[in-house]
Every structure is written in structure tokens, then in C-alpha cells.
């Protein structure tokens, strides 16, 4: 990830940058959040077969320190091409044991009631969740979504046509998976949160919980997000 501190003093609106830094710091300080990522893939048109699933979805939820709370494939209604399986970092065996979205829904509903939900591009994530709910005739999932893309865009401060240029999810972090799976996206979001929180504020610093905050020495406390592990039966 580019060190955005190098050009920090040329930021067009320093207060916007500071607010983004404080959002990341406060999330990690209070630790009442989970990170959510959804990976949805479709086969290339020339590879599409009538007897194969036309879409494959995987959902991942993590807590602080990349602790995995949920990392599942949504059970497809048809066979899945090797192309899609590779994108999601799994094999055909996963499709046989994968839960339905209705089963995953119950877990997400309970978890979302306890914690804020951090996503990169929460508008896209909410659209995907809404489509899954409609497909299964389930009520829309309610959650306190935090859109990290908006904060990161203001943090970077790159302008185009008089407004901020929307930033995409950085891919320069060292992920343990090939490509961007739902799990690796959660890990990138976690790293991005720490990078933003550890950045220096410029000019008029707004108030924050800890004036000498540094992610290098900070360990998030246990919070409501960890309780989701009990729901999932993953308690140590």
C-alpha cells in the first residue's frame, strides 16, 4: 500500500482525512465490529453451460486480528464449473457440504444484531445480501453498516472533477490466497483499518480516545464480535 502520509500535507481537506483516521481508530478502540466480505462470481459467457450454476457466492465474516468467524460457500443449486471453484479457492467437495443461504442467514442475523458491520463498498454488499434474501424469500437483513470505501476515499484525498476520486480496495497487501477471495478481502480490510488508524493526523486534529494511538502496539480488546463464535460453535 502506498504511504499516503508522504503527501498528507497536500490533502485538499485535512479534516476529512482526520475524520477517516479517527473512524478507524475508534473502531479498533471500541472493537464492536465485524468485517464482512461477499465474493460472487459468474462464468464467462463462452463457458456457460445450462446444467451448471450460473453464479457462485462465498461469504466471510472476521473479527479483530483476522479471527475467522464465518467462511462459507453458499450451496449452489447445480454443479459448479472448475473455473468458478478456482476463483473461490475451493473444490467440488465444498459444494456438497456447503450450507444454504437460509442457514447462513440465521448466523448473519444474530451476528449483525450485536456488532457494526464493516465492508468495503457497503452499497454493493447490501445489494448482494438483498438479492440473496429475495431469492430465498427471507426478510432483508438489518445491520449497522460502516462503508470503509467512503472513509478510505476521503483519507487518500485524490480529486477528479472537483470531487474525491473513489478508491478501490488495495491489493498490495500480502494475502495468503491467490486472488481476492471473500476471506482475503476481509484480511485486506483489516490491514487497511490498521494502516489508516496508525497514520498521522495533520493540521487541526479532532478528538480521539487515545492521543498517542499506534497500531504497532495496540491489541484490540475482546468485544461483542467475539460472541459470534459462540453462535457458530467455534468457542475455544
pLDDT over 90 (residue 108): yes
What is the reported pLDDT for 41? 81
SS3 label, residue 39 = strand
59 against 215, higher pLDDT: 59
Q: How confident is the model at residue 106 (pLDDT cuts 50, 70, 90)?
A: very high
Superfamily of domain 4-231: Ribonuclease H-like superfamily/Ribonuclease H (3.30.420.10)
For 199, the grid coordinates are 497514520
What is the reported pLDDT for 226? 52
Q: Are 209 and 25 in contact (CB under 8 A)?
A: yes
135 against 88, higher pLDDT: 135
HSE toward the beta carbon, residue 47, CA cutoff 13 A: 12
Distance separating alpha carbons of residues 218 and 85, to the nearest angstrom: 37
What pLDDT, in 10s, does the model give residues 169-186?
Answer: 887 554 444 457 899 999
Distance separating alpha carbons of residues 157 and 8, to the nearest angstrom: 9
Amino acid at each position: 500500500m502506498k504511504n499516503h502520509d508522504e503527501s498528507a500535507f497536500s490533502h485538499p481537506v485535512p479534516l476529512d482525512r482526520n475524520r477517516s483516521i479517527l473512524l478507524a481508530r475508534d473502531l479498533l478502540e471500541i472493537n464492536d465490529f465485524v468485517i464482512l466480505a461477499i465474493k460472487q462470481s459468474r462464468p464467462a459467457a463462452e463457458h456457460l453451460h445450462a446444467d451448471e450454476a450460473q453464479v457462485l457466492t462465498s461469504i466471510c465474516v472476521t473479527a479483530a486480528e483476522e479471527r475467522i468467524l464465518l467462511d462459507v460457500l453458499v450451496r449452489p443449486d447445480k454443479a459448479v464449473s472448475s473455473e468458478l471453484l478456482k476463483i473461490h479457492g475451493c473444490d467440488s467437495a465444498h459444494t456438497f457440504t456447503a450450507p444454504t443461504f437460509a442457514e447462513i442467514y440465521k448466523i448473519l442475523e444474530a451476528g449483525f444484531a450485536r456488532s457494526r458491520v464493516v465492508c468495503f463498498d457497503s452499497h454493493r454488499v447490501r445489494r448482494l445480501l438483498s438479492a440473496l434474501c429475495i431469492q430465498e424469500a427471507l426478510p432483508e437483513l438489518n445491520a449497522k453498516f460502516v462503508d470503509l470505501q467512503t472513509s478510505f476515499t476521503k483519507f487518500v484525498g485524490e480529486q477528479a472533477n472537483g470531487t474525491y476520486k473513489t478508491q478501490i480496495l488495495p491489493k498490495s497487501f500480502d494475502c495468503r490466497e491467490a486472488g481476492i477471495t471473500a476471506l482475503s478481502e476481509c484480511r485486506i480490510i483489516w490491514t487497511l483499518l490498521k494502516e489508516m488508524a496508525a497514520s498521522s493526523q495533520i493540521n487541526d486534529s479532532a478528538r480521539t480516545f487515545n492521543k498517542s494511538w499506534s497500531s504497532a502496539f495496540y491489541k484490540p480488546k475482546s468485544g461483542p464480535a467475539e460472541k459470534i463464535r459462540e453462535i457458530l460453535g467455534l468457542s475455544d
